[in-house]
């Protein structure tokens, strides 16, 4: 069942979204060669708690940290560690969430570590652009399939692949609510979009094949062929006045 939110609930989600977005800005500003993923995770946790919110990821399904931090061919769900040191040329995906007054924000970014390859820069850019292609389809009366078709269309046009195994989702009082929001699909198909829907759109894009595998740690997901992967996610709300991107606090990020 889809939990539609009224305007008071969407106002509460704006706060959760803003805190989540600010935590990611702070994380971005820490990214440089020599920093561990543990240090970034700790800073995110402290910031969210300082805001009076709860790190949504901490303990979720047993996850041991406040952010998923995934490097290069790791797609999602990387576990922060004192042993994971960022190095020049890496790309790092940081995915986090904050729960504030009972509502969740969920957002991710891919950040270059120092100077990265032209391929890595293009991948990050295409992944981000594919998110906004999807958002263009978020209109009352459109369908879930319109979002995925737009995302996948841009990805494929750039010679990349969209991960199919993991998808976006409704978000609200829970981090994962109905409906699923795949990053692929058929235009005109699927659940109809209506005012009050709050969803996380989160393209995961690979340079190589779409296949992924989970590591024995039970969390980390990597590309099966070892190719680079990028991720971009925001929590958005569809209202009668249009779309609000709740977790984006800086225009170009
Ligand atoms: Mg996320
Ligand atoms: Mg998500």
Distances (CA, A) of 248 to 10, 72, 237: 15, 23, 12
Enter the pTM of the model.
0.98
Q: Which residues surround ligand 2, an ion (CB under 5 A)?
A: 106, 200, 202
Q: Kindly tell me the number of DSSP H helices and DSSP E strands found in the chain.
A: 4, 15
State the sign of the Cα–Cα–Cα–Cα dihedral 188, 192, 194, 196. Answer: negative
In a domain, 1, yes or no: no
What pLDDT was estimated at residue 217?
Answer: 96
In a domain, 115, yes or no: yes
Query: Does any domain span residue 114?
Result: yes
**Residues of the chain below pLDDT 50:** none
**Cα 119 to ligand 2 centroid, rounded to whole Å:** 25
Q: What is the pLDDT of residue 75?
A: 98
Query: Which CATH number characterizes residue 52's domain?
Result: 3.90.230.10
Grouping H, G, I as helix, E, B as strand and the rest as coil, residue 106 is strand
pLDDT in tens, 73-122: 999 999 999 999 999 999 999 999 999 999 999 999 999 999 999 999 99
> Would 29 be classed as within a structural domain?
yes
Domain assignment of residue 251, yes or no: no
Report which bound ligand comes closest to the CA of 167.
Answer: 2
Separation of CA 188 and ligand 2 centre (Å) = 23
pLDDT at 86 (0 to 100) = 98
Q: What is the pLDDT of residue 20?
A: 98
β-strand pairing of 234-239 with 197-201: antiparallel
DSSP letter at 91 equals E
């Amino acid at each position: 069942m889809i939990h539609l939110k009224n305007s008071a609930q969407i106002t509460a989600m704006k706060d959760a979204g803003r805190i989540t977005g600010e935590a990611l800005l702070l994380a971005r500003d820490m990214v440089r060669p020599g920093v561990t993923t543990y240090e970034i995770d700790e800073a995110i946790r402290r910031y969210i708690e300082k805001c009076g919110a709860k790190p949504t990821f901490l303990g979720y399904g047993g996850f041991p940290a406040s952010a998923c931090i995934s490097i290069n061919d790791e797609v999602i769900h990387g576990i922060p560690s004192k042993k994971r040191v960022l190095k020049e040329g890496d790309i790092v995906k940081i995915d986090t969430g904050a729960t504030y007054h009972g509502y969740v924000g969920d957002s991710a970014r891919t950040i270059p570590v120092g100077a990265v390859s032209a391929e890595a820069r293009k991948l990050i850019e295409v992944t981000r652009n594919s998110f906004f292609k999807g958002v263009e389809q978020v209109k009352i009366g459109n369908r879930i399939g319109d979002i995925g078709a737009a995302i996948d269309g841009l990805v494929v046009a750039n010679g990349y692949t969209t991960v199919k195994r993991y998808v976006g989702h409704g978000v609200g009082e829970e981090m994962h609510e109905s409906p699923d929001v795949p990053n692929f699909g058929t235009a005109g198909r699927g659940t109809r979009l209506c005012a009050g829907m709050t969803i996380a759109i989160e393209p995961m894009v690979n340079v190589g094949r779409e296949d992924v595998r989970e590591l024995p740690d039970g969390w980390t997901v990597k590309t099966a062929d070892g190719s680079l992967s990028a991720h971009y996610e925001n929590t958005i709300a569809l209202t009668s006045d249009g779309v609000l991107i709740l977790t984006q606090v800086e225009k170009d990020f």
